[in-house]
Structure 1
């Protein structure tokens, strides 16, 4: 299965998504913000199959993380999450870099489906 890096500042949601993806057999590394996720990516030399990041986070938001990831690890698929319409609009210019933007709140089934779709798209 895939190795997935999660960047989500809300601990309950981060835990829920990590558990859901673990259930599907994925190896999950979870971080609390974009800066921690970027540090992890650099320390691990980009050895992940997917970056799943919230857009609105402290320290470094998901859009800045997506841009840095695309620059440093251009083959790494990126899936963004947001509960804010204005944040979704900010991400609309990144279609070339981002597989999709999933709206919060989402169900466990929806996040699993979005991750599977992003992983499938990333293998092409």
Structure 2
């Protein structure tokens, strides 16, 4: 199973995603914004396999967080979550081999499947 860094400023979404991914056997580091996620990534860089992040967050948004994460660890897989499809267009500039997105709202099974796919 993988170690996942989760960043989302919505507590309900964080809890849903954490429960779903933990139920699949993953270790999930939960953070409430991009800056906290960046700190967590720096501390746990070697063990993080996947970044799952909301696109729209204050201070450091998910696209910028993903760019910084990829600079630190080019092999990291990225899953972007967004309620606005136009925000996902910005992801085109990311240079990442494993990038998937999921539109909010999503089900427990949908987020589990996206993470399974990006890990495959």
Paired residue for 1:70? 70
Paired residue for 2:10? 10
Relative to structure 1, is the Cα distance of residues 88 and 45 closer, same or farther in structure 2, using a 3 angstrom cutoff? closer
Q: What are the ranges of 5 or more consecutive residues in structure 1 without an aligned counterpart?
A: none
Paired residue for 1:35? 35
Give per-residue Cα distances to partners, 1:34-73, cap 9 Å, x unaligned. 1100100001134211110010001100011011011111
Task: Measure, in 2, the Cα distance between the counterparts of 1:108 and 1:54.
Answer: 16
Paired residue for 1:107? 107
Q: What are the ranges of 5 or more consecutive residues in structure 2 without an aligned counterpart?
A: none
Task: Measure, in 1, the Cα distance between the counterparts of 2:85 and 2:5.
Answer: 24
Paired residue for 2:92? 92
Segments of 4+ moved more than 6 angstroms: none
Q: What is the root-mean-square deviation of aligned Cα atoms in Å? A: 1.1
TM-score, normalised to structure 1's length? 0.91
Q: Number of aligned pairs?
A: 119
1:81 maps onto 2:81 in alignment: yes
> Matched residue of 1:102: which SS?
strand
Deviating more after overlay: 2-11 vs 43-52: 43-52
Task: Measure, in 2, the Cα distance between the counterparts of 1:22 and 1:32.
Answer: 17
CA contact (8 A) 1:46 1:76 kept: no
> Matched residue of 1:9: which SS?
coil
